[in-house]
């Protein structure tokens, strides 16, 4: 489990740089377009990831360590970025995501979590009892689910330009899988 | 259309750096594991992308410009990386992908393609008549389909560690969509 935390942190440390390398200074067709009404652009996703750094992952980890099951996590606002990203450029958001993730991983490493800590339990407002290990694993897979989404929504912009090759391109068959 | 080529090249120029930032020096759980028999790891995907740089995209673009519909593209070997990647590290493959993509984009820019060129036609061995515009668009979406795949196969390694959060993580519901 200690080893798994190392693997989790390794991934969490790389996704901001990967998204920065992919998205910075890209033409707006790739970064500002979405998949239709009530869907997100890459710009929206980075805002969502920033809100998670501020209010979700480390605050919930500390809630588990401080209060256990007695005090549920605060609910997460999936649409907070609509207001928070207003007036910002994608490049500003990418910088902010890099900075917040860096700070959060420094704080996480500083907790010196033990294998026993990883089994400590907290209460999710909808899912019920969860462990610190599950929370930190989810933080990493949450990065991946949004990388999956970004690759899909970017591909969507070229859905008509690839012609007959569309049949071979799995990403164009993906309609998303969110609950 | 000229503008679209600029957008296509912008994306093609960034994916090698994004994959490098995501994967280089990551623990093997993320880079060498796959989703089961006959599926690929991230290591396998980078080998496949390298084979595409060598034998698929620019050779096919040049085939269109040189021979039009009269001479079909050579078939693409989807499993070539099994042999070609043998004995190499992921870091060597990432370096090779960066280098080959750079060379290919330099060559593509050097062709000074016009809007009329983009409508020139070639013959795919299975799909039939395709245009140069469709081929170059597909090159970009092919990057995205493999970024989509990599995010999914990495997430798969944590499918059991996220506990009840699995229900919220769309990437864990994705079974792939390849033809």
How far is B165 from B116, CA to CA, in rounded Å? 51
In this prediction, residue B178 has a pLDDT band, given cuts at 50, 70 and 90, of: low
| Position A1 pLDDT exceeds 60 | no
Q: Which chain B residues are closer than 8 Å to A19 by Cβ?
A: 18
Question: Nearest-CA distance from B47 to chain A in Å?
Answer: 18
Question: Nearest-CA distance from A157 to chain B in Å?
Answer: 9
Could you list the beta-strand ranges (E) of B18-176: 121-124, 128-131
The crossing angle, in degrees rounded to 10, of helices B2-23 and B42-55 is 140
In this prediction, residue A175 has a pLDDT band, given cuts at 50, 70 and 90, of: confident
Indicate the helix (H) or strand (E) that contains B37. Answer: none
Task: Give the pLDDT confidence score for residue B1 in this predicted structure.
Answer: 43
| Position B2 pLDDT exceeds 70 | no
A57-82 pLDDT tens trace: 999 999 999 999 999 999 888 888 88
For tokens 């407002």, the residue is A125
Q: Taking residues A102-112, what's their average pLDDT?
A: 98
Other CB atoms within 10 A of residue B6 CB: 10
How far is A23 from A31, CA to CA, in rounded Å? 7
Instruction: Provide the CB-side half-sphere exposure for B164 (13 A, CA).
Output: 12
Cβ of residue B167 closer than 8 Å to a chain A Cβ:
yes
For a pLDDT cut of 70, what percent of chain B falls above it?
Answer: 97
For a pLDDT cut of 70, what percent of chain A falls above it?
Answer: 97
Q: Which chain B residues are closer than 8 Å to A131 by Cβ?
A: 163
Q: Which two tokens stand for residue A73?
A: 């996590």
Q: Taking residues B153-174, what's their average pLDDT?
A: 95
Task: Give the pLDDT confidence score for residue B3 in this predicted structure.
Answer: 53
How far is A8 from A138, CA to CA, in rounded Å? 9
Report the candidate in B172, B174, B153, B138 with the shortest Cα–Cα distance to residue B52: B138
Interchain proximity B155–A141, CB inside 8 Å: yes
Task: Give the pLDDT confidence score for residue A12 in this predicted structure.
Answer: 98
Interchain proximity B164–A22, CB inside 8 Å: no
For tokens 């081929």, the residue is B135
Question: Nearest-CA distance from B86 to chain A in Å?
Answer: 25
In this prediction, residue A3 has a pLDDT band, given cuts at 50, 70 and 90, of: low
Report the candidate in A43, A49, A40, A14 with the shortest Cα–Cα distance to residue A27: A43
- The ipTM (two decimal places) reads 0.95
How far is A15 from A17, CA to CA, in rounded Å? 5
Three-state DSSP state, B179: coil
pTM reported for the whole predicted model: 0.96
B50-72 pLDDT tens trace: 999 999 999 999 999 999 999 99
């Amino acid at each position: 489990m200690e080893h798994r935390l190392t693997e989790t942190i390794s991934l969490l440390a790389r996704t901001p740089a990967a998204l920065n390398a992919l998205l910075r200074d890209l033409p707006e067709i790739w970064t500002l377009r979405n998949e239709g009404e009530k869907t997100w652009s890459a710009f929206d996703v980075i805002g969502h990831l920033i809100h998670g750094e501020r209010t979700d992952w480390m605050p919930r980890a500390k809630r588990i360590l401080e209060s256990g099951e007695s005090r549920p996590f605060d609910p997460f606002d999936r649409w907070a970025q609509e207001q928070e990203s207003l007036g910002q450029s994608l490049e500003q958001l990418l910088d902010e995501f890099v900075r917040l993730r860096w700070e959060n991983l420094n704080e996480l490493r500083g907790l010196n979590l033990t294998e026993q800590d990883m089994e400590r339990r907290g209460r999710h407002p909808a899912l019920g009892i969860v462990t610190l290990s599950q929370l930190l694993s989810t933080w990493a897979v949450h990065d991946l689910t949004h990388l999956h989404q970004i690759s899909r929504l970017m591909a969507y912009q070229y859905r008509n330009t690839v012609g007959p090759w569309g049949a071979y391109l799995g990403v164009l068959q993906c309609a998303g899988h969110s609950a």
